[in-house]
Structure 1
């Protein structure tokens, strides 16, 4: 595992959310520590995001790229609940820290 400084942005029709901090990268995953809205800590893993990231030209140790996840969302329709799959897109940037 290598230590990195990261920035992850999620874009949707309601705006954008940005997370940044210090995390770790394995051969294929980005692992970060997060805190839920209720204040509970948890570990977030962005699986296979390293393969989509490419080196930024002229900047040593910096990488960026897109990351996509499929999520199941449950919603109410006509008094019953339905589940749909949606695609969530993230923009990932990270820099290796010595």
Structure 2
């Protein structure tokens, strides 16, 4: 969900584009296209994403103001904790 909100905050993307971006950013990780499409639809229904009609009636999703607020809230809550965890992992892997 965070990836979806983050990637669509600056441009409206189709589920296909989001799926391809995920595989580019996280090689070796698998996620189904259907899952991305369902997640986008769910968050559009919750108001976190806005839906735009693209070429050939393709749905394009973009983060809405409610989605930006949610993304900011997650960032404020978890960013510091994840940074600390990352530092601990780096210390263990350097030894």
TM-score (norm: length of structure 2): 0.28
Q: Which has the higher helix share?
A: 2
Q: Which has the higher strand share?
A: 1
